[in-house]
Structure 1
Amino acid sequence: MINVNQHTISETQILNEMQYHPADDHRAAMVEAAQSLIIGELLQQRAQALNINLDTHASDTDEQRQNKLLEKLIAAEVQLPRASATECEHYYQQNKPKFTTPPLIAAKHILLAAPSSDEKARSHALNQAENLLNALSQGASFSELAQQYSKCDSAQLGGQLGQITKGQTVSEFERQVFSADVGLIAHPIETRFGYHLVYVDHKEPGLQLPFEAVESRIEDYLNKKVERKAIAQYIQLLIADADIEGFDFNVSSSPLVQ
C-alpha cells in the first residue's frame, strides 16, 4: 500500500496497472506501475488545487487522460521558452549533414540465389558469381547474363533496379552499393539472398537543403526538446513536494521523465 499526500494507492490498483507496463520481471513491472499511479495521483491533486477541469472522451485511455492533464498543468504553471531564429540557425550550422536530400543510385544486378542456411548452395552460387564476374570484366553483356542467370524479377529487365534510395534494399547490399563508384563492382556482394553482381549506372549525392527549407522542422524539434525537459522537471518538483509513504521514488527511472 502506498500513500500519496494521504491518498491511498492499493496493491490491487498496482496489480491492475501492471498489465500496461511490460518489463523483464515481475518486480520491475510492479515498480513501473506504482510510479505511474503515483505520478497520476500527483497530477490529479495538483489539478484540483488549481481548479483545472479536464475535458475527456469516454474512449480515452488512462494514459491519454493523464497526458491531457499534464499538458494543461504545464500550460498553467510552466513558461516554456520558444526557439529563436538564431538558435534554429545555430543548430542547422552544427548539424548540416542531417539536412540533406537522400542520395540516389541507378544500378542493375544479377542475383545468384542461395539460402543462407545451405552452405553447399552458397558455395556454388559464389563460384558461379565469380565466373560471371570474370565474363563481365571481359566485355560480356550484363543484360544478357542477367536474363539468363539472375533469380530476381528484375532479370526480365536486364537486371535493372531503377533508382534506389537508402532504406529500399537490405543493409548488406545497400552498404556496399552506395559506397561503390560508378561501373562494375569488382567483387560479388553477399547478402541473405545469395550473391549479387552489381553495375552502378549513375550516382546522385545527397544535396544540402537550405536553412529556410528546414527552419520550421528545427524549431519544432527544439521546442519539443525543451518541453520534454520542462515536463521532467515539473514532475520532479511535484514528487519532491509530496508526502509519499510506502515507495522509494526514483525519478530518473520513471517512463514519464525521459
Structure 2
Amino acid sequence: MNAALFPDLIVNGETVPHTLVAAETQNHDAPAGKPGIAWRKAANAVAIRTLLLQEARARGLKPERKEVAPDKFETDEEAQIRGLLEMVVDPELPEDDAIYAEWKKDPSRFRAPPLWEVSHILCACDPRDEKAKHDAMHRAEALIPLVGKDAKSFAVIASRESDCGSKSSGGTLGQLGPGDTVPEFEAILRHLDEGEVTPQPILTRHGWHIVRMDAVALGAVLPFAAVKPKIAEAMEKASWARQAQKFVQKLVASAEITGADLRSV
C-alpha cells in the first residue's frame, strides 16, 4: 500500500505519521484491490486513539501499565487510554427487574454447554507447507463421495484412510464439549446437524478433516438464578460501551480533524 497516495491525518494540529495508519490497516477488512477502504477505516481508528491520548495527556494522566497476560503488559499509550476511560466512564449497574426482563425475552439463549458425538477422517498436513496442504486437500476431497451419509460406511473409510489415531475406532472421537478441541474444529461442530457430514474438507492446524456429527445433545435451558450474574455482566458491559462511545463523540465534536471522517462515530 502506497501511503503517499492518502492524505495526512491531522488531529487538533498533531500530524499522525503515515506509518501508524499503515500499521493499523492490517486490522481492517477491505475488498481486494480497494486499499483505500482499509486505509480510511484505519485512519478513523487511529484518529480516535489520538484524540483519547490527547485528552489523557491534557488531564495529566500518567501511564500505569497493567499485566494483560502472563509476562505481557500494556503499552504506555494503552495504559493512558484505559486510565482515561476508567475516569470518565461510569457504567450503570442494571436493576434486578431489568436483568429478569432481559432473560425473559428468550430464556432458550441461556443453556448448559452442548455435547457432540463426533467422528472424523483426518488428512494430515502442515498448513504452512503449501504443497502438502494442497495435496492433503485433494485427498480429502476424493474421500468425501465415498463416505456417504451412513455411519457404518463413514467408519469403514475412516478406519482405512484417516491419519488420526481414532481410525482404530472408525474415526469416532466420542463425546466432546466446548473447549475439548482446537477452536477451528469446534467451530465446525457448532454448525452441523445430527447425521450431517461436512460437504467440503475443513482445515485446522492438524490438516483437512471430514467430520460427521453422530449425535447432538443441546444443553438444558438454565434457570434465571444460574444466569443472572452473566446477564448482569453483559448489560454492564453494554452500558460501558454506550458511555464510552458518547465520550468519544464529544471529543470528536470539539476536534479539528483532517484525513479521517468521524461523522458516523
Q: Name the TM-score class by shorter chain.
A: 0.5 to 0.7
Unaligned runs of 5+ in 1: none
**Cα pair distance change 1:128/1:252, threshold 3 Å:** same
SS of match in other structure, 1:229: helix
SS of match in other structure, 1:179: coil
Task: Give the counterpart of 1:162 among 171, 174, 177.
Answer: 174
What amino acid is aligned across from residue 215 of structure 1 in structure 2? K
* Counterparts of 2:213 and 2:247, CA distance in 1: 57
Task: Give the counterpart of 1:71 among 77, 86, 99.
Answer: 86
Aligned to 1:106: 117
Q: CA deviation at 1:18?
A: 2.9
* Counterparts of 1:101 and 1:207, CA distance in 2: 5
Unaligned runs of 5+ in 2: 1-8, 29-34, 66-72, 124-134, 202-207
Within 5 Å, which residues of 2 pair with 1:68-147? Answer: 68-75=83-90, 80-108=91-119, 111=121, 115-117=136-138, 122-123=141-142, 125=143, 128-129=146-147, 136=152, 145=156
Within 5 Å, which residues of 2 pair with 1:1-258? Answer: 2=10, 4=12, 8-9=13-14, 11=15, 13-15=16-18, 17-18=20-21, 21-22=24-25, 24-25=35-36, 28=40, 29-45=42-58, 47=59, 53-54=61-62, 56-57=64-65, 60-75=75-90, 80-108=91-119, 111=121, 115-117=136-138, 122-123=141-142, 125=143, 128-129=146-147, 136=152, 145=156, 149-151=160-162, 152-165=164-177, 168=181, 169=185, 175-176=191-192, 178-180=193-195, 190-192=199-201, 193=208, 200=214, 203-240=216-253, 242=254, 244-245=255-256, 247=258, 250-251=261-262
What amino acid is aligned across from residue 74 of structure 1 in structure 2? V
What amino acid is aligned across from residue 18 of structure 1 in structure 2? V
* Counterparts of 1:246 and 1:174, CA distance in 2: 44
Contact 2:53–2:77 (Cα < 8 Å) also in 1: no
What amino acid is aligned across from residue 65 of structure 1 in structure 2? Q
1:149-176 alpha-carbon deviations (Å, 9 max, x no partner)? 2424212234432102368447667644
Query: TM-score, structure 2 length as denominator?
Result: 0.61
Q: CA deviation at 1:224?
A: 1.0
Query: TM-score, structure 1 length as denominator?
Result: 0.63
Size of the aligned set, in residue pairs, is 218
* Counterparts of 2:213 and 2:20, CA distance in 1: 56
**Cα pair distance change 1:115/1:69, threshold 3 Å:** same
Contact 2:112–2:222 (Cα < 8 Å) also in 1: yes
Q: CA deviation at 1:245?
A: 4.0
SS of match in other structure, 2:92: coil
* Counterparts of 2:262 and 2:189, CA distance in 1: 44
Q: Which has the larger radius of gyration?
A: 1
* Counterparts of 1:128 and 1:88, CA distance in 2: 51
Name the % identity. 17
* Counterparts of 2:198 and 2:63, CA distance in 1: 58
Q: CA deviation at 1:230?
A: 0.8
* Counterparts of 2:81 and 2:114, CA distance in 1: 42
Question: Bigger shift: 204-213 or 214-223?
Answer: 204-213
Q: CA deviation at 1:64?
A: 2.2
